[in-house]
Chains A and B, each alone.
Chain A
């Protein structure tokens, strides 16, 4: 669990460095080796690691808006994910998706760029599992800013009424871009929303990966045993802006400092030390994680960019004859 968290943190920090390359001195979102938006998840690691520790490759996960830490915890191919973020041909999606839209069918991971819209497909995966009498489960991750969306609330209802093996994991970092949680909901504990759907709801405070692990274990166990869905909310902290380039003028300094101070990785390491883990083991985990991240970034940067003609491929799995030509506007 710690290794997944440390890998994710180092990955986010390295991506930040790579992203800012070529965007200085004047920030231009389309310049540099990583173009487009980049939403980093530093500070969110406890939820992805604590939940995914219970999952198998055949369990389905739909990612949150800042998806990397969950993808890493679910076992998404780190090299190909990195190549995707760099827009390379060998990326998970051949450079067509980018960082918000990671698809790795080998471990049943996917992500959407539209807030809360990963919830209904997770319900669908759970439905398929139930219909086939399998014991795989589905987990939908989303931010606390997304829990006012209809797609989320409708998914809770559908999952509950059909007792589907799905877990909704809300990462509460208190901010939906510039909107503080208090201005968009009167409900302090988002897990309470489960009450309205007659399903269990649990909230884990303080970035506590161990507590997430325990709560998720119970929820995944319930789902696997055919006892239906659970809503799990995890307090995390956003250590960076909403997206790279976000100056966060709207955010009080005290809140940013609090996010730096309350850190799930520090907390887990302290817990491990308290239970007898030696410093050498922790250091070894850290160096292994760094090496893995560096390897992935180095590999990704060496990969070729896609041929422009690739833009016309994959619109359909089964394209009509000659369809690529009509897409282009030819005969």
Chain B
């Protein structure tokens, strides 16, 4: 299956295609969440599904994340394959026990006798001035706690393939989509996430990072929205530095091999992450690169959200959210070392 086949879709449309396909294939697949039926998901993640399926399978639920995410866990343990949407990842705190003590741990704590084949789908990211409780990315929080697979698409092609794989997976999968990549009218997307998507089903396997741009001088490892910012930075620097952009696509499992291969070629690593700087993805990537090829590393930098809550006012949010300019600066910096 080539990424160039098929018609161009937005990322949300590609996700919906995969969900609809899996729902046609199996009555065990259903979706529940807040405003996912008539509204079609605040970020269009379930847009149009109610036209084809009834309310028993596209279920609007009360605002009660503990109850409905926990119910997804229970239904999954009973053999169904629920997809539950947590509207903003920031709301995880309301229901974290069901997420990390039940969904993520029940397989292990049951000695493998129970599985939890559900998808927890959730919106991440800022860039639109919605302040500290509606703009977080939190990749690291979910990836840090064992038992959840965590995937993060950056294009429509990847989103569809990852969604098919997520629904078919026998483990809980956290599917984190960036709002600004979805192609919704009121939040314009950058160039890039809208890609050709094959009509038929296919999977993007977890743990396979994608080299979105090849280059010899500096490796930029990133994910989600910042794949596109990194590519933009690489194009701007094309006459000066040859940048390779690695899109992780999944955090759990993490494709260490692709990272190490790229760093062994370039010797210089920049990690770009919209999540907080400390104790997160950026530190993990650098640790893996160092553990597996310390002698190859000439220079390392990370471009991340600082360890501050995300402010509301535009100049403040732009200051903390890593921009293309910040990536350019970091690439130049490691290239000069």
Contact = CB atoms under 8 A, between A and B. Distances in A.
A27 interface: yes
B62 A87 contact: no
A37 interface: yes
Interface in B304-328: 304, 306-309, 311-320
A98 B126 CA distance: 14
B62 A185 contact: yes
A329 B306 contact: yes
The interface residues of chain B, by DSSP majority, are classed as: loop
B319 A311 contact: yes
Contacts of B312: 36, 84, 87, 93, 95-98, 101
B328 to A, nearest CB: 16
A110 to B, nearest CB: 13
A98 B311 CA distance: 8
A328 B306 contact: yes
B316 A184 contact: no
Contacts of A245: 186
Contact of B62 (A148, A307, A309): A148
B94 A117 contact: yes
A184 B60 contact: yes
Interface residues of B, number: 47
A146 B131 contact: no
Contacts of B61: 184
Nearest to A310: B316
Interface string A80-124: 000010011001010111101100000000001111110000000
Contacts of B309: 96, 315
A189 B64 CA distance: 19
B336 to A, nearest CB: 18
B63 A315 contact: no
A35 B314 contact: yes
Contacts of B127: 30
A26 B185 contact: yes
Contacts of B90: 113-114
B313 A113 contact: no
B311 A95 contact: yes
B187 interface: yes
- The CB with the most chain B CB atoms within 10 A, among A112, A185, A250, A307, is that of A250
A179 B307 CA distance: 36
Contacts of A26: 185, 188
Contact of A177 (B34, B64, B93): B34
Nearest to B65: A149
Interface in B33-56: 34-35, 37-39, 42
Contact of B313 (A30, A95, A250): A95
Closest 6 CB pairs of A and B: A95-B313, A98-B312, A87-B313, A35-B129, A308-B319, A250-B38
Interface of B: 34-35, 37-39, 42, 60-67, 90-91, 93-94, 127-134, 185-188, 277, 302, 304, 306-309, 311-320
Given A29-B129, A98-B131, A148-B62, 11 more contacts: A28-B187, A30-B314, A36-B131, A96-B132, A97-B131, A149-B63, A305-B314, A306-B311, A311-B319, A315-B308, A315-B309
20 contacts: A30-B314, A35-B314, A36-B312, A87-B312, A88-B313, A96-B309, A96-B311, A96-B313, A96-B316, A100-B134, A145-B63, A149-B65, A176-B34, A177-B34, A177-B35, A178-B37, A184-B60, A250-B39, A306-B315, A315-B308
